[in-house]
């Protein structure tokens, strides 16, 4: 018997699609990783009736824990605490200590901004945020909005954890929230699950599905593994959740996949291709020379803290004059082979390594579309080069499906895999 949870995401801006919800997936992932079974995520606007309907639905569907996100601000349209209290039949009480705490935070902010606004709506907002349902445990704010944990009651009401909407505030509050007695009690009955991730590149969902069917027929206990596969950003990810007793079945499944798709599997330890590129560089520096990806490869290589240790820089060479002027690609080569050619890709990589003084360089030049395609080089054609000092420069041509954004995204991912592949190859 596992613990079941439901997540309620509030906010008209999320419901209407103007802001992408980050909280539902984040909370779901945390709960799943802890062995909680997430049954539902629901999204509603800032309307108490819709929120009430969703809370009633989740309670009726027998979840043990409801996590709500959003609607904790000081203004009138932020109604989550009042609505949840109404749902639970608990009165709201002013928590004087909490009020003083929020007031101190706001006063510090105001002082920093040198602001002296009319304080009466401000104080009213703070008082609203300091209201706590009867018997609930307040969670100190990480921004200005406190959270609330409401214990399960005898009347079949689940435990409810009320969290703020800004993802940074929610995530900062999470550890404290888990440690409140109501949430600790709700999670006590959870079953520990393991989760393993296998990542592959250049493997189709259909081919993996065939191997999984083979596993169904040949591995005993495979039914106890909860396998999800999904293709994202050109990589195929297989996530398996299982209880400790099913570990031998998972080991057999992992071996079967290694046997059939060993060349495509690039990660079984949770590492991403970004992790692997950094590891494979192992102290060497890298530069980029990008045409169709327009800076996306460099942006990706500088995503993480400390990237200045390996990324020296890059050139976005969109115009042919920039390919020649900044990277030394001969104009005659561009005229003869075209800007989208392995010759030019190689010259771009060589030029970047040479001129920017890097040990390794990666280049992209392709037709992202929608215009510019020909019969021989259709939209989606992309050439790559990887230069490593002391070795011949390698080049590839790939054909990617989809629109401009997709071609650019898949090209960026391909560049990362090509770099990792070349650096891992001992030759």
Q: Which residues of 95-109 are buried (b: 16+ CB within 10 A; e: fewer)?
A: beebbebbbeebeee
Q: Mask 267-296, x = binds a copy of itself (CB under 8 A)?
A: ---------------------x-x--xxxx
Per the CB < 8 A criterion, the answer to whether 158 and 152 are in contact is yes
Contacting residue, 3, 5, 36, 38, with a copy of itself by CB under 8 A: 38
Write out the H or E segment, with its range, that includes residue 427.
none
State the DSSP code for 393.
P
Site residues for a copy of itself, 228-247, by CB under 8 A, read 228-230, 232, 237, 239
CB of 92 to a copy of itself, least distance (A): 23
- Asked if 140 touches a copy of itself (CB under 8 A), the answer is no
Q: How far is the CB of 349 from a copy of itself (least distance, A)?
A: 15
E-state strands within 87-133: 92-94, 131-133
6 touches 39 (CB < 8 A): yes
Contact between 314 and a copy of itself per CB under 8 A: yes
Helix (H) or strand (E) holding 378: none
Q: Do residues 366 and 292 make contact, with C-beta atoms less than 8 angstroms apart?
A: yes
Using alpha carbons, select from 122, 121, 147 the residue that is nearest to residue 133.
Answer: 147
Q: Which is nearer to a copy of itself, 367 or 423 (CB)?
A: 367
Least distance in angstroms from the C-beta of 192 to a copy of itself: 17
The site map against a copy of itself for 394-413 (x = CB under 8 A) is --------xxxx--x-----
Q: Give residues 331-370 in contact with a copy of itself (rule: CB under 8 A).
A: 355-357, 369-370
The residues facing 394 across adjacent strands are: 386
* Contact residue for a copy of itself among 26, 103, 185, 272 (CB under 8 A): 26
Nearest to 157 by CA among 221, 206, 86: 86
16 binds a copy of itself (CB under 8 A): yes
32 binds a copy of itself (CB under 8 A): yes
Residues in 162-181 at the binding interface with a copy of itself, rule: CB under 8 A: 168
Instruction: Report the Cα–Cα distance between both ends of the chain, in Å, rounded.
Output: 53
Which of 224, 303, 336, 425 touches a copy of itself by CB under 8 A? 303
């Amino acid at each position: 018997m596992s613990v079941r949870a439901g997540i309620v995401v509030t906010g008209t801006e999320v419901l209407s699609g103007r802001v992408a919800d980050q909280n539902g997936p984040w909370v779901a992932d945390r709960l799943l990783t802890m062995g909680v079974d997430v049954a539902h995520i629901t999204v509603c606007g800032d309307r108490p009736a819709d929120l009430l309907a969703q809370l009633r639905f989740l309670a009726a569907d027998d979840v043990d824990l409801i996590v709500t996100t959003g609607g904790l601000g000081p203004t009138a349209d932020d109604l989550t605490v009042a609505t949840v209290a109404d749902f639970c039949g608990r009165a709201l009480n002013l928590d004087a200590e909490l009020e003083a705490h929020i007031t101190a935070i706001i006063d510090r902010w105001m002082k920093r901004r040198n602001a002296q606004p009319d304080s009466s709506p401000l104080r009213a907002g703070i008082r609203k945020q300091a209201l706590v349902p009867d018997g609930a445990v307040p969670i100190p704010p990480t921004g200005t909005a406190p959270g609330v944990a409401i214990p399960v009651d005898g009347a079949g009401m689940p435990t409810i954890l009320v969290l703020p909407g800004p993802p940074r505030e929610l995530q900062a509050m999470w550890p404290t929230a888990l440690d409140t007695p109501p949430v600790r009690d709700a999670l006590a009955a959870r079953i520990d699950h393991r989760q393993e991730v296998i990542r592959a590149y250049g493997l189709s969902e259909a081919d993996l599905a065939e191997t999984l069917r083979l596993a169904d027929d040949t591995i005993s206990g495979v039914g106890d593994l909860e396998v999800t596969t999904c293709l994202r950003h050109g990589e195929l990810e297989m996530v398996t959740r299982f209880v400790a007793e099913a570990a031998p079945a998972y080991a057999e499944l992992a071996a079967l996949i290694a046997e059939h798709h060993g060349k495509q599997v690039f990660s079984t330890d949770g590492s991403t291709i970004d992790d692997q590129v950094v590891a494979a560089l192992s102290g060497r520096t890298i530069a980029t020379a990008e045409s169709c990806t327009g800076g996306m490869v460099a942006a990706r290589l500088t995503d993480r803290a400390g990237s200045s240790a390996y990324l020296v820089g890059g050139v976005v060479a969109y115009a042919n004059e920039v390919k020649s002027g900044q990277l030394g690609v001969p104009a005659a080569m561009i005229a003869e082979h075209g800007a989208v050619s392995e010759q030019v890709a190689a010259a771009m990589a060589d030029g970047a390594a040479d001129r920017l003084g890097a040990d390794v360089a990666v280049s992209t030049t392709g037709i992202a579309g929608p215009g510019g395609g020909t019969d021989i080089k259709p939209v989606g054609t992309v050439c790559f080069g990887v230069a490593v000092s002391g070795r011949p420069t390698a080049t590839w041509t790939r054909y990617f499906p989809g629109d401009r954004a997709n071609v650019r995204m898949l090209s960026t991912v391909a560049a990362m895999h090509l770099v990792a592949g070349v650096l891992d190859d001992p030759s």
